[in-house]
Amino acid sequence: MPHRAHTVLDSPLGPLTLMAVDGALSGLYLEYRRHPPAEEALGEPDPAPFTEAADQLAAYFDGTLTEFDLPLAPGGTPFQRTVWAALQRIPYGETVTYGELAARIGRPTAARAVGLANGRNPISIVVPCHRVIGSSGGLTGYGGGLDRKRQLLDFESRVTHGRQRLDN
């Protein structure tokens, strides 16, 4: 039987609930999320499996980490896992539309299904579902709320532009 654990970390976005299965990050949930984890999926409270995730999240929120390197175990259907893997290839500070993401996974007519899979992403921030926007360029659905999506996108944009000025 897999070992499940969870912990709660403070962040600039409010409390983050992290979940692990056998030491791999299986969930990262913002407070008041649209699709919260089932209570029985949380496992025991134990911060030990989350040391590296906590360090990387702190570096992300400090603006010094732009790509996470953590073992992940998101679960989901094969299609969802394909979408979530594609999310991880969206560069820091950039956005794509649901249609562009559908095309990237070889399913150009599946923008709606991609949107549904994106909304079920269990590992917010680390698997950057906030980087997907509507076809008109506007912000659309985000399980953690549109205000948080805007916060994350604005934050990544500021970090990215700050680095460009330092490099020039």
Annotated catalytic residue within 129, 132, 133, 152: 129
The burial of 42, by beta-carbon neighbours within 10 Å (0-12 exposed, 13-18 middle, 19 or more buried), is given as middle
φ/ψ region of 149 (left if φ > 0, alpha if ψ in -120 to 50, else beta) reads: alpha
Structure tokens at 89: 């290839």
CB–CB of 62/76 below 8 Å? no
Residue 38 annotated as catalytic:
no
Active site amino acids: 129
